[in-house]
Amino acid sequence: MNRTLYGNLIFELSKKGRKGYSLPQDYDRTHTTAELPETLRRKEAARLPECDELTVVRHYTNLSHNNFGVNDGFYPLGSCTMKYNPVINEEIAGMKAFAGLHPLQPAVTCQGALEVYYNLQESLAELAGLSEFTLNPCAGAHGELTGLMVIRAYHESRKDAARTKVLIPDSAHGTNPASAAVCGLEVVEVKSLADGTVDVEHLRQLLDEMGSDVAAMMMTNPNTLGIFEPHVLEITEMVHKAGGLMYYDGANLNALLGECRPGDMGFDVMHINLHKTFSTPHGGGGPGSGPVGVRKGLEQFLPTPRVKKVIVNYDIPEDGPTEWEGFIIDWGQGDQEKPLGSVGNFFGNFGVMLKAYAYILSLGSENIKQVGPLATLNANYIKERLRDDYLLPIKGLCKHEVVFDGLVDKSTGVTTMDVAKRLLDYGYHAPTIYFPLLFHESLMIEPTENESKETIDAFIDVMHKIAEEAKTDPELVKTAPHNTPIGRVDDVLAAKQPVLTYWKSLENE
Ligand SMILES: *Cc1c(COP(=O)(O)O)cnc(C)c1O
């Protein structure tokens, strides 16, 4: 096969006048532009590639072969939980009965979908140990912003709105401070100890200084180093005493599922990334879903819509029962008690919810208890087997992910970046690198609970092999990747001077 031909840009395959479609002779194109005002219409035809159908099909099929997904191979990206996404979830989300719904159709005509929505709200509340969930937010960061808005609404309702500070550990995911800033709150960093956990003494000092200004503290537990915070109960108690609320970043709940619950640790508000914890393919920008849950007493601050189970009395023309246990949509419009209204598009990303619900049901309440222990076992197995070659800054038990600080042997000059690039040559996606920021050469691996021992062993062998190569042939590693369609790219140039259109790239020549 001539890979080079189809590896070209689609513009380079273009032949003037060639078409992959035909329209009826009498096709009237005026009606398609008639409603556009003159000022918005093109003055000249768009410069689009002109190709025959088969060329287009081959071009995109070949492009897809250059991609790497969870279904291609092991994808140990830490903090992002790239796990198995069963195809049955896609089939369920694509069912006409769900995909064909209109968000504004009357509740009586979509009781089945509302039941799924309601059941997911309830399942998440049970798994999290909280009172109620909204499924409205469309991503993790969107959930964080929503949760902080809930917290602000709570303080305002108590005439305590001067609380504008949010305490965030320095190990937190970057979206935490970003969400706080977008919410108009001020970020105060809490230091970590050498073992990666929250410095409780520093927190105490901050609370002494500014306790009455603190709206909330945001925490991830296990934190982004994969370490369970041993003083979490003391921390939640301290912040509560100062009048602040505790926010839990539950983007990745793998380590906890079946073991313990944020609500039981004293957290008041949290989000869950359905697109990480409960499958659903992600990366590349979504769609995602970041439901937000609250403890008892905060329900009225959650955004709408929320689906409720009540005795409904629908007026149905046929003679079946008109009163039964059914589902209504609470939009909360004009309701003083529901200050946030809605934060997303109608119900949020329902397709992602269907996949998450299918995943939860397919595991069932018994098997879901295995998720945390298996995710933890897999990460610790990797940790113990790689620590001879890769520097382990934090030695204790980790949870679902493990962070190394590059290779043990720094004399070779081979960096974490080089190791990550070399992994691509062996058919593995790179782990998360240079995050968390606590170490210079962070290499963060999350195997997830889905991977077999054989898969993990093969990965470990390759990691050892790369460590060996770093000693015997460091140039090979430093110039990797060698087997991918594109070799080592200049990350800085790509970020500083992105060339995003073909015509632009020609002008630059
Ligand atoms: C992924 C992630 C987020 C953000 O989620 P998005 O859906 O990407 O907005 C927040 N916190 C942690 C710990 C994460 O891993």
121 with 130: CB under 8 angstroms?
no
Q: What are the pLDDT tens digits along the chain (509 aa)? A: 345 566 678 888 999 999 988 888 877 665 565 677 889 888 988 889 999 999 999 998 888 888 888 989 999 999 888 989 999 999 999 999 999 999 999 999 999 999 999 999 999 999 999 999 999 999 999 999 999 999 999 999 999 989 999 999 998 999 999 999 999 999 999 999 988 999 999 999 999 999 999 999 999 999 989 999 999 999 999 999 999 999 999 999 989 988 899 999 999 999 999 999 998 888 777 789 999 999 999 999 999 999 999 998 777 666 666 788 899 999 886 666 666 889 988 999 999 999 999 999 999 999 999 999 999 999 999 999 999 999 999 998 999 999 999 999 999 999 999 999 999 999 999 999 999 888 999 999 999 999 999 999 999 999 999 999 999 999 999 999 999 888 998 889 988 988 887 776 666 55
203 with 171: CB under 8 angstroms?
no
State whether the beta carbon of 220 lies less than 6 angstroms from ligand 1.
yes
Nearest Cα to 194, choosing from 382, 395, 376, 390?
395
Going by alpha carbons, the residue nearest to atom 7 of ligand 1 is 140
pLDDT digits (tens, 9 = 90+) for 71-125: 899 999 998 889 899 999 999 999 999 999 999 999 999 999 999 999 999 999 9
State whether the beta carbon of 282 lies less than 6 angstroms from ligand 1.
no
Measured in Å, residue 116 CA sits from the centre of ligand 1 at 25
Cα(59)–Cα(64) distance, rounded to whole angstroms? 9
pLDDT digits (tens, 9 = 90+) for 349-407: 999 999 999 999 999 999 999 999 999 999 999 999 999 999 999 998 999 999 999 99
pTM of the model: 0.89
Residue 440: how many other CB atoms lie within 10 Å? 10
Nearest Cα to 114, choosing from 331, 301, 350, 338?
350
Substitution candidate for ligand 1 out of 83, 145, 173 with most atoms within 8 A of CB: 173
Going by alpha carbons, the residue nearest to atom 6 of ligand 1 is 140
State whether the beta carbon of 249 lies less than 6 angstroms from ligand 1.
yes
Measured in Å, residue 435 CA sits from the centre of ligand 1 at 13
- Burial call 399-433: b when 16+ CB within 10 Å, e when fewer: bbbbbbbbbeeeebebbbbbbbbbbbbbebbbbbb
Kind of pairing between the strands at 269-272 and 245-250: parallel
Cα(50)–Cα(147) distance, rounded to whole angstroms? 48
Ligand 1, atom nearest to 175 Cα = 10
**Non-local CB neighbours of 9 within 8 Å, separated by 6+ positions:** 502
Residue 90: how many other CB atoms lie within 10 Å? 16
State whether the beta carbon of 251 lies less than 6 angstroms from ligand 1.
yes
Measured in Å, residue 140 CA sits from the centre of ligand 1 at 5
Measured in Å, residue 406 CA sits from the centre of ligand 1 at 24
Structure tokens at 428: 């593995």
Residue 290: how many other CB atoms lie within 10 Å? 30
Nearest Cα to 127, choosing from 300, 364, 398?
364
- Spatial strand order in the sheet of 245-250: 132-134, 292-294, 269-272, 245-250, 214-219, 165-169, 186-190
Q: Where are the domains of the chain?
A: 370-496
Q: Radius of gyration (Cα) for the chain, nearest Å?
A: 26
Going by alpha carbons, the residue nearest to atom 14 of ligand 1 is 251
- For domain 370-496, is the CATH number 3.30.565.10? no
